[in-house]
Amino acid sequence: MLPLISSCASRTKSTIVASDLQILKTGDSRSNENLHLTTLHLIMLRQHNRIAGELAKVSPHWDDERLYQETKRIVTAQLQHVTYQELLEPLLGQEIMDRYNLTLLDEGFLTAYDENLDPTVANSFATAAFRFAHSLLPGLMRSYETTSPGSWMLLRKVLFNPFPLYSSGSLDRILQSAIKTDVQKTNRFFTTEVTQHLFEEPQNETSPKKCGLDLVSLNIQRGRDHGLPGYVKWLEHCGLPRPEQFKDLSGLIDEESLKAMKLLYDTLDYIRKMTASVYDAGSVVRVELELPFVYDTKYTIMEFRPIISRSNVSEDLALILNISRDLYIMDFEDKNYFNLRQADLNSVCNIYSPAVYTCSNLEPTLKPIAGECFLNQLFGSRETESKPDFGSCPILALRLSKPIFYKMADGSLLYQAPKQVLSKVQCREPVSKTISILLFDKGIITINSPQCSINASGFIFAPSTINSDAEMFPLRDIIGQGFKIDFPCWVTDRLLAVPSRHTGLVRDASELTDFAGALHDLERSQENDGYNRYINFAYQSSWTPITMMGLLIVILIAMGAVVAFRRKKPTAKLDLPPPLV
């Protein structure tokens, strides 16, 4: 266990009682800021002790200080190795890694250490650029309290809460919770868990509700405190032409975000760097983040390289250093081993699509039914693009959609996505997956959708119970509420990078009365055929009154034309010469 911050430090774990629980001591008090972070600190501490033990065996003549220093160098190197290989590479992309000579060697030691370089973290990096990750934070985390698949907890509950680590066996569950929690993509959306409930005090019946902080405001304000120049200045600093109008930023910032920015800012000069960093969705590696990011990481690796190359360790210890692509997190206390393979690292896979998926590497279920490439059907020629933008969860093509949720009579929700986009897509794992919907100003509602299916008509069907967090947002009437929806990777993780979050309006399904009845029947029968038929029916039924009016007008015009044509006919006859009889 990590040492405790208070007088509890002298006690052994077994003597600690609930009232004694303290936050844990590391090099930085912020390590208690969230449970997963604290857990990683704990793991690294155990790794330190394990390696020190190994070193003591092979070098019994080393004193404590030497053991400590050598171990520290190895653990630092391991951590940096993991960071460069498992985080930076997917984050920045191979091209940038290579361009700045950041790619780790397959074997041997790097020798590019330059002790004259100043590795200090740049102000702009800490105060804006690297905070991009705040937009990755999910509102819901997999619960560590139970291993049942549909169990979630609000992010706020893991903040400054290292206490679960006190219970025996909890480390495994907390790691599972971290591994299985999807992060969001980098964009201008932030979970209300950090914009409204950051470090909010727990409420109970006797204490009034305490107000949470807003992390985004803090970030922007911190930029001002630190005197960061505005975004435009930053672009100039990076050698780019000075944008004069908002439209000059297109290409750097997507159109939708630009529109939103125009509403906020009278002039370009007011755009804060932090704002731009997250508004510039999907392009963390582009100028405004690339430079500080790369400079900092480059300097850091310069430090890292000699740690390996100068390290005075014997051949045997190469084994300790050899932490390949798979990261093994070892819980030495509980003797459990977690092999965090790349595929399991949702947090990384979700940030970035590691490769452009082509027809050949798509899963069979996603392959075209009619022979034509499925990806091309969805994205036109996008398949030929060399690399997806950074920051995008490889999300199914919902970009074109204007999704609408229908609240059904039984309280379930139905999501309608555009037919052309979702056609022929099936859920990869159709059971026990969750779609999170963030209702504006209301919080998060989780729809468990064990029968989830996206079928040829483009519906995601979420018929089962809707779990709202009773504490915060009892699922009352959500009709008329705006919503944002996050589609997690299970829907999307095989395809190109497109936004994973959408906004729309929840509509009343009374427009679809028959539909609601049919939905009920369908739920009971749960037969695929019936489901497909039903969905097709639903799709037709989803015509809006405006569409109906339009259709009516077209019919009336057509009828008018027919009547006019008929009336004209006798006149034409009159012009004919009389019969020759």
For the annotated binding site for heme b, the residues are 134
Q: Which of 215, 340, 427, 522 binds ligand HEM (CB under 6 A)?
A: 215
Question: For residue 540, what are its two tokens?
Answer: 């037709």
Smallest distance, Å, CB 130 to ligand HEM?
4
Binding-site residues, please?
A: 134
Smallest distance, Å, CB 489 to ligand HEM?
18
Smallest distance, Å, CB 180 to ligand HEM?
16
Distance in angstroms (rounded) separating the CA atoms of residues 399 and 201: 37
Smallest distance, Å, CB 499 to ligand HEM?
20
Smallest distance, Å, CB 119 to ligand HEM?
15
> If binding is defined by CB under 6 A, does position 82 make contact with ligand HEM?
no
Identity at 439, one-letter amino acid code: L
Q: What is the DSSP letter of 58?
A: H
Site size for ligand HEM, by CB under 6 A?
A: 15
Q: Which of 131, 157, 305, 407 binds ligand HEM (CB under 6 A)?
A: 131
Which residue's Cβ lies closest to ligand HEM? 133
Per-residue binder mask for ligand HEM (CB under 6 A), 88-127, x = binder: --------------------------------------xx
Identity at 17, one-letter amino acid code: V
Residue 68 exposure: Cα atoms within 13 Å on the Cβ side: 3
What is each CA distance from 234 to 38, 42, 137, 391, in whole angstroms? 34, 38, 26, 21
Smallest distance, Å, CB 85 to ligand HEM?
16
Q: Which helix (H) or strand (E) holds 459?
A: strand 459-462
- Other C-beta atoms within 10 Å of 453: how many? 18
Smallest distance, Å, CB 190 to ligand HEM?
11
Q: Which of 1, 16, 79, 218 binds ligand HEM (CB under 6 A)?
A: 218
Q: What is the DSSP letter of 167?
A: S
Distance in angstroms (rounded) separating the CA atoms of residues 82 and 158: 24
CA dihedral sign of residues 56, 57, 59, 60: positive
Range in contact with ligand HEM (rule: CB under 6 A) among 99-107, 218-226, 228-236, 451-459: 218-226
Smallest distance, Å, CB 303 to ligand HEM?
18
Q: Which of 77, 97, 159, 454 binds ligand HEM (CB under 6 A)?
A: 159
- For the segment 280-339, give every residue that binds ligand HEM (CB under 6 A): none
> If binding is defined by CB under 6 A, does position 133 make contact with ligand HEM?
yes
- For the segment 453-472, give every residue that binds ligand HEM (CB under 6 A): none
| 159/445 with CB nearer ligand HEM | 159
Smallest distance, Å, CB 33 to ligand HEM?
6
193 closest CA partner among 214, 178, 210, 221: 214
Distance in angstroms (rounded) separating the CA atoms of residues 258 and 244: 14
Distance of CA 98 to the CA centre of its chain: 26
Distance in angstroms (rounded) separating the CA atoms of residues 285 and 390: 7
Q: Which of 22, 23, 80, 130 binds ligand HEM (CB under 6 A)?
A: 130
Smallest distance, Å, CB 199 to ligand HEM?
7
| 124/170 with CB nearer ligand HEM | 124
Let me know: does 215 contact 195? Beta carbons within 8 Å. Answer: yes
185 closest CA partner among 389, 413, 440: 389
> If binding is defined by CB under 6 A, does position 34 make contact with ligand HEM?
yes
Q: Which of 33, 200, 344, 523 binds ligand HEM (CB under 6 A)?
A: 33
| 31/453 with CB nearer ligand HEM | 31
Which residues make Cβ contacts (< 8 Å) with residue 441, sequence separation at least 6? 192
| 91/512 with CB nearer ligand HEM | 91
Range in contact with ligand HEM (rule: CB under 6 A) among 217-225, 294-302, 432-440, 488-496: 217-225
Distance of CA 349 to the CA centre of its chain: 9
> If binding is defined by CB under 6 A, does position 79 make contact with ligand HEM?
no
3-state secondary structure of 154: strand
Residues, the chain? 581
Q: Give the helix, strand, coil percentages of the chain, each rounded to 5.
A: 50, 10, 40
**Rg (Cα) of the chain, in Å, rounded?**
29
| 279/415 with CB nearer ligand HEM | 279
174 closest CA partner among 193, 188, 187, 161: 161
Q: Which of 88, 97, 137, 519 binds ligand HEM (CB under 6 A)?
A: 137
Q: Which of 134, 142, 188, 286 binds ligand HEM (CB under 6 A)?
A: 134
- Other C-beta atoms within 10 Å of 315: how many? 7
Distance in angstroms (rounded) separating the CA atoms of residues 538 and 543: 9
> If binding is defined by CB under 6 A, does position 436 make contact with ligand HEM?
no
DSSP string, 552-575: HHHHHHHHHHHHHHHHHHHHHHHT
Partners of 34 in the β-ladder: 159
Smallest distance, Å, CB 193 to ligand HEM?
8
| 144/406 with CB nearer ligand HEM | 144
Residues of this chain that bind ligand HEM (CB under 6 A): 33-34, 126-127, 130-131, 133-134, 137, 159, 194, 215, 218-219, 222
